[in-house]
Amino acid sequence: MQAGRTRCALGRRSPLAHARRHRRDAARVQLRAAWRALDCALLAAMAAAVALGALLCASASRVGFAQVSRVAGWLP
């Protein structure tokens, strides 16, 4: 053993365990990236719904409330 290292040889991980952990960490990174894409898509859908709602409210007096209620029925 070298002077700066005091770790026991029994405390080291086997190469197989190290590879398994590395593969699991890589899968987590890919999962996080997928969640980011899903979050962006959901955020864009919510922003579009809010913008459509604002447009419906702004155009209700010009178009007529019957038409607006028909279109608003499509919204969740």
Would you give per-residue pLDDT tens digits along the chain (76 residues)? 455 555 555 556 666 665 666 666 666 666 666 677 788 889 999 999 889 888 888 887 777 767 767 766 766 6
Report domain extents, the chain: 12-72
Between CA 53 and CA 64 the distance in angstroms is 15
Predicted confidence at residue 46, as pLDDT, reads 92
The reported pLDDT for the residue numbered 8 is 52
Buried b (16+ CB within 10 A) or exposed e, 21-59: eeeeeeeeeeeeeeeeeeeeeeeeeeeeeeeeeeebeee
